[in-house]
Amino acid sequence: MTDFASRLTLAARTTGPLCVGIDPHPGRVPALFGGDTPEGLARWGEAIISLVAGRACVIKPQVGLFERLGPDGMRALQRVCQAGKAAGLIVIADAKRGDIGSTAEGYAQAYLGRDAPFACDAVTVNPYMGMDTLDPFLTAAEANGKGVVVLARTSNPGAADFQTRDMGGAPLYARVVEALQPAIARLEGASGWSSLMLVAGATGPDEARALRKLAPSCLFLVPGYGAQGSGAGDALAGFVRRGNHLEGGVVNASRSVNFPSGAAEARDLAEWQTTITSAIESAQADLTALSGLAEPARS
């Protein structure tokens, strides 16, 4: 069983650093898939996955946008996770869980357990209730070759409310990463990268560089690229040079590849597929050009 970090690093070297978010915002799933219904979400997500395969290595379903539709919405999420794994993609569930004791254990088993109903390769977690909230996720990740993606410096404007506040000469996000050092070392794998991943938003490139100094073995999950306004240079600010290329994580694009210009007006499935494929390939080409990796072959 290979560790999560080694799988992700190898996959990103092969296809490039793009991670495709699957974010079914209300009212935006096209009618040709069934619209804003559980079945529509599942079919739409599966259709995106079929276009991601061979063009990117990671998908990131946004759990809350499935959960809003109740039990059937969560069954749609389950289908999307299963489709991603069947397509050979790495699946990161963006759930941002964070709780204590047996509740955290329940969340960990739901996403990272051996028989997890929402089986994925990694899950995002919120560390701001303390290190004990992360222990069940770390244990499940260690046992099952999975990853834990910890919020450090997020991409939203409100991140500045708390994450960059001075805490005795360093910002709060830096103090969090300092506290994570034993867990980072605990999940370091054969590749030299840790399966404890950090969220490092593209909207804070200077903070990403600071995080890289604090956590040289952590892979980064980078939101904020594309629709949130950050370009490839900012998105890759925390990556490091390995030979002739940059590596150190994946860069997420959601709205820019889920709902690009022309997708909503597509008259049929073929036209929609062409539009989405173009958006995925454009984002990947943008990132690979700067990272130094060869673009993935077009299928």
- The yes-or-no answer on residue 96 being catalytic is yes
Q: Which of 60, 85, 96, 146 is the catalytic position?
A: 96
For residues 111 and 93, the answer to whether their CB atoms sit within 8 Å is: yes
Alpha-carbon dihedral sign for residues 106, 109, 110, 112: positive
Question: Residue 68 contacts by C-beta under 8 Å, 6 or more apart in sequence?
Answer: 26
b (16+ CB within 10 A) / e for 87-117: bebbbbbbbbbbbeeeebbebbbbbbbeebe
- Give dist(CA 217, CA 203) in Å, integer: 21
- Strand stretches in the chain, DSSP E: 18-22, 58-61, 90-97, 122-125, 147-153, 194-200, 218-222, 240-242, 245-247, 249-253
| CA dihedral over 110, 112, 114, 120, signed as positive or negative | positive
**72: its two tokens:** 């059937």
Q: Does residue 20 contact residue 257 with C-beta atoms inside 8 Å?
A: yes
CB-count exposure of residue 48 (10 Å: 0-12, 13-18, 19+): buried
Of all residues in the chain, what percent are helix, strand and coil, respectively (each to 5)? 45, 20, 35
Active site residue ranges: 96
